[in-house]
Structure 1
Amino acid sequence: MKTNGDRGLGGEGASGGSSHAAAFAGFAEALDLFHVGDVARMRALAELGRSALREARRDGVRGMASDMELRSVAAEAAGMARLTDRRLQGEIDHAMTVIDDYPAVFEAWVQRRIERGHVDVVVRVGAGVPAEVRESFAEAAIGVCERDVPSRVRGALDALAARLHPQAFTERHKTAAAERCVRVFHGTDGMSNLVANLPTVIATGMLDRLTQMGQSVKDARADGAGEGEPDDTRTMDQLRADILGDLVLGGAPVVDPTYGTDRAGGLGAIRARVQVTVTAETLMGRDENPAEAVGGALIDADTARELAGQVSEWDRLFIDPVTRTPVEIDTYRPTASMKKLLMARDQHCRFPGCRRAAIRCELDHTIDYALGGHTHIFNLAHLCQRHHSMKQFTKWEVRQVGEAFSNGPHPSAGSTAKTSPYRPSASPSTPRIRHRTPHPADRPTSRHPSEPVRLP
């Protein structure tokens, strides 16, 4: 594969009489250093994974317990790299896959015959290739990658994998179609991506129909412009997005099992529910601060007020004016009001770097209830299933800590310290992974209009 240095600029190479020779030489040196570091990082990540598996085998554990050791190691390494433990564990898994399952591809990368991007694409495509033909796929894939840049080899590699796969494409499609799903990925500025994994013919047909409907809207608006109605200035992308939202939120499915001979189907009457947390200041129009939808995404103030006007009732979260904490309960399960306040306080899993929404997490007693821990706001915190399991089955320790505020000492609810099992804990100067959550005392003391409100 040629490089810019091979092709040169203006007919000249990257060396010789080129005025850019020194700059190209510096860039080439940087590429070499980056390559060496990237290879070393992958080897180190793979060794972290092997070390975790060796430790698990030494203790005679398998299955879930073995995975817990890998999670624990990934959490420590994530703290070193300032990454989330999920991402770090994913990098460990990827490194072990590359080095152990695709040694020829890894060696070709080490020798600079292919680039790191090629390696990632080969592994991604190779995930669907059976082990018995993986070696043949890898050797052929190297040849494909040597001829083009990483961004242009995916199609050729897909065709190669399909040709080498012993199972017919039709059968594999049936299996893949069983994994169809819809997911939401939150973005910035109050926007999110709705991603649907669908059979190709369905996805293509949906896009075509949305395009036709969008064009019909533009034509209709254009025909009515002479009657005082302005042209529709939305782009086709905007029209497709708006129509998709209208169809999903207001339409009814073609196949409705609740449809009866004497009544319309019930699925068409179902309406979406969105939970939003907004301060009374914003709700009353005194500021334009964004509100927050359950799940961690921000929405604009106008939308939040519009949602508030569409509901007949909403819950208001109160805080005790003296202690500024919710009431403790002696039973194992917290009250409904405590759960609401904890969800509003935590917002997401309390493990460092984890952004799993609180609504998808489990309420955990920091000090186990069975060991005398109270069901109190200062002993409860949201942990996702992954990190809840780590707390239970590995040596990671969690404790809630207190801090002083300007208006008096208050325990900092939800502010937790996680102690790694790989660092000594005897010394008070031992660094800890700490996650600070704003305490209710940080908010203004007035109950009105600054208290947070949760809309159903």
Structure 2
Amino acid sequence: MNAPEVALAEAQWPSTRFADSLVDLLQAAATLDRVIASAQSIRAEVIDRARQLAELSAVAESAELNRDDSPSARRQLAHRVLVCEVACALRLPERTAERLIDESDMLVTHLGATHRALAEGSISYRHAQVIIDEAHSLPDEARPHFEQTVLPAAERLTAARLRPRARAERERCHPESIEQRVEKSRAGRHVLLEPAHDGMAWLSAFLPAVRASAIYERITTVSEGIQRSEVGNDVARTLAQLRADVLTDLLVDGVVDATGCGTGVRATVHVTVPVERLLGAATSGEAHTLSTSAFVPPAELEGYGPLDDETARELAAGAPSFTRLLRHPESGAVLSVGRDRYSVPADLATALRIRDRTCRFPGCGRSAARSDIDHTVDWQFGGRTSIDNLAHLCPAHHQLKHRSEWQVSQQGGGVLRWRSPSGLTYVTDPEGGPAPP
């Protein structure tokens, strides 16, 4: 039997009998954690083998087709194809799949001691990730000593407590100065929007530490001033709430109320509000009663999802202009606005954007507003500029469609069927609902 099977055989599975002791249950949970860690070590081997196979296949394919691509370009394309394959097969976001491939490469190829500890179940995958993150920029010759130092701590500490210890050891082991590494890290700065529940979302920024600290101190100082002015109010805000409100006012309006801090431009958001939702603000105080018995889809914020009616009506009240969209009265589907020419007219582009909402590659969530409109069957091969031959693809997946063996076909109603280079198939549905027949 392999390691997971042995661990499973040794596990004392808890029964539903009340007589089971807490010790038995905790021991069973700990054994299962070791099983999971061992399985994750095997997964790393499988994923890394797939990486090696993809690179070899890319080299062989380029030779067969007599391509003059550089070795670097071939590796980049092979990596891109593999990331998409793994993301689709495991139903992971592509960034997560890319990280999994990178972590597997590090474990199997560069961090053998960490990989063995994971296989034995003496550390968890979270501990392994901490070691991988800190060892990533170390040269090969420094990694064995780094592992030897941090692995004993990983077997005793939580992953959160291991992080500062591993970071300190990395500083001691690293041959490059911290100034050189800071300069390289700045290139990775970015802002991330992650939808959350109940009309909320996370807005995160990965920034140089000094600037991030300065931003946090500024909004805290402004918030503390506002908090002092609100003392005695019936609805005084907490400092945490004020920080969020101050940050919002600075970024959206460029000014914090009553403080005069900063100037800027007003942000633009795209919201789709069915007219029935606006009319539903009916009369006699029945603010949430719609004027029709048919189902009416909720208002939607582009890149997020459904909005409550009150927020939608507030946004509509302040909108400088409206785009008129004709919808089917029952299904809500945008009616066809197709035209027979290569360039996509504005009204058809609007219909496609409402239908697709995101890039149509499996698992991709990039907004349609930041994606290209692609002819599924290329125009040069007889493809039509019509709603049943067009779909949004982000620039990366648009390029992948044309440069790799990924293939796509329209199945009707805006449904796309994708076939990966390995032969697996995936179907994506338009998030805005089916296109008209």
Which residue does 1:88 correspond to in 2? Answer: 97
Which residue does 1:235 correspond to in 2? Answer: 238
> Is residue 210 from structure 1 mapped to residue 223 from structure 2 by the alignment?
no
- Alpha-carbon distance in structure 2 between the residues aligned to 1:396 and 1:246: 44
How far is the alpha carbon of 1:110 from its aligned partner? 2.2
Deviates more, 1:191-200 or 1:18-27: 18-27
Which residue does 1:279 correspond to in 2? Answer: 274
Task: Say which SS state the counterpart of residue 203 (structure 2) adopts.
Answer: strand
- Alpha-carbon distance in structure 2 between the residues aligned to 1:312 and 1:28: 59
- Alpha-carbon distance in structure 1 between the residues aligned to 2:209 and 2:341: 52
Which residue does 1:415 correspond to in 2? Answer: 415
Which residue does 1:257 correspond to in 2? Answer: none
Preserved contact between residue 37 and residue 123 of structure 2 (Cα < 8 Å): no
Percent of pairs with identical residues: 31
- Alpha-carbon distance in structure 2 between the residues aligned to 1:27 and 1:178: 42
How far is the alpha carbon of 1:103 from its aligned partner? 1.6
- Which amino acid in the other structure matches residue 118 of structure 2? W
Which residue does 2:209 correspond to in 1? Answer: 200
Which residue does 1:63 correspond to in 2? Answer: 72
For residues 82-101 of structure 1, the C-alpha deviation after alignment (integer angstroms, 9 at most, x for no partner) is: 43455334322221122112
> Is residue 292 from structure 1 mapped to residue 300 from structure 2 by the alignment?
yes
Which residue does 1:49 correspond to in 2? Answer: 51
Task: Say which SS state the counterpart of residue 345 (structure 1) adopts.
Answer: helix
How far is the alpha carbon of 1:370 from its aligned partner? 0.7
Residues 284 and 440 of structure 1: CA distance in aligned 2, closer, same or farther (over 3 Å): farther
Which residue does 1:314 correspond to in 2? Answer: 322
> Is residue 138 from structure 1 mapped to residue 147 from structure 2 by the alignment?
yes
Which residue does 1:301 correspond to in 2? Answer: 309
Q: How many residues align?
A: 389
- Alpha-carbon distance in structure 2 between the residues aligned to 1:130 and 1:171: 14
Which residue does 1:251 correspond to in 2? Answer: 254
> Is residue 352 from structure 1 mapped to residue 354 from structure 2 by the alignment?
no
Residues 201 and 353 of structure 1: CA distance in aligned 2, closer, same or farther (over 3 Å): closer
Which residue does 1:408 correspond to in 2? Answer: none
- Which amino acid in the other structure matches residue 248 of structure 2? G
Residues 64 and 342 of structure 1: CA distance in aligned 2, closer, same or farther (over 3 Å): farther
- Which amino acid in the other structure matches residue 342 of structure 1? L
- Which amino acid in the other structure matches residue 244 of structure 1? L
- Alpha-carbon distance in structure 2 between the residues aligned to 1:421 and 1:396: 6
Which residue does 1:158 correspond to in 2? Answer: 167
Deviates more, 1:207-216 or 1:149-158: 207-216
Preserved contact between residue 196 and residue 202 of structure 2 (Cα < 8 Å): yes
How far is the alpha carbon of 1:441 from its aligned partner? 4.3
Residues 28 and 282 of structure 1: CA distance in aligned 2, closer, same or farther (over 3 Å): same
Which residue does 1:366 correspond to in 2? Answer: 376
- Alpha-carbon distance in structure 2 between the residues aligned to 1:21 and 1:188: 37
- Alpha-carbon distance in structure 2 between the residues aligned to 1:270 and 1:248: 8
- Alpha-carbon distance in structure 2 between the residues aligned to 1:312 and 1:31: 56
Residues 215 and 52 of structure 1: CA distance in aligned 2, closer, same or farther (over 3 Å): same
- Which amino acid in the other structure matches residue 121 of structure 2? R
- Which amino acid in the other structure matches residue 422 of structure 1? S
- Alpha-carbon distance in structure 2 between the residues aligned to 1:320 and 1:21: 62
Instruction: For CA contacts below 8 A with separation 6 or more, give which structure has more relative contact order.
Output: 1
How far is the alpha carbon of 1:177 from its aligned partner? 4.0
Task: Say which SS state the counterpart of residue 316 (structure 1) adopts.
Answer: coil
Task: Say which SS state the counterpart of residue 326 (structure 1) adopts.
Answer: coil
Preserved contact between residue 187 and residue 297 of structure 1 (Cα < 8 Å): no
- Alpha-carbon distance in structure 1 between the residues aligned to 2:188 and 2:46: 33
TM-score, with length taken from structure 1: 0.76
How far is the alpha carbon of 1:178 from its aligned partner? 5.2
- Alpha-carbon distance in structure 1 between the residues aligned to 2:122 and 2:269: 51
For residues 289-311 of structure 1, the C-alpha deviation after alignment (integer angstroms, 9 at most, x for no partner) is: 64222223443322222222223
Which residue does 1:6 correspond to in 2? Answer: none
Residues 29 and 371 of structure 1: CA distance in aligned 2, closer, same or farther (over 3 Å): same
Report the aligned-residue RMSD.
3.0
- Alpha-carbon distance in structure 2 between the residues aligned to 1:396 and 1:129: 36
Asked which structure has the greater CA Rg, the reply is 1
Residues 131 and 21 of structure 1: CA distance in aligned 2, closer, same or farther (over 3 Å): closer
- Which amino acid in the other structure matches residue 416 of structure 2? T
Which residue does 2:199 correspond to in 1? Answer: 190
- Alpha-carbon distance in structure 2 between the residues aligned to 1:70 and 1:106: 22
Preserved contact between residue 189 and residue 298 of structure 1 (Cα < 8 Å): no
Which residue does 2:8 correspond to in 1? Answer: none
Match of 1:105 among 85, 94, 114: 114
Task: Say which SS state the counterpart of residue 364 (structure 1) adopts.
Answer: strand
Unmatched segments (≥5 aa) in structure 2: 1-19, 64-68, 257-261, 282-287, 290-296
How far is the alpha carbon of 1:418 from its aligned partner? 1.2
> Is residue 433 from structure 1 mapped to residue 436 from structure 2 by the alignment?
no
- Alpha-carbon distance in structure 1 between the residues aligned to 2:280 and 2:371: 32
- Alpha-carbon distance in structure 2 between the residues aligned to 1:324 and 1:220: 50
- Alpha-carbon distance in structure 1 between the residues aligned to 2:334 and 2:354: 15
- Alpha-carbon distance in structure 1 between the residues aligned to 2:94 and 2:253: 40
Task: Say which SS state the counterpart of residue 194 (structure 2) adopts.
Answer: strand
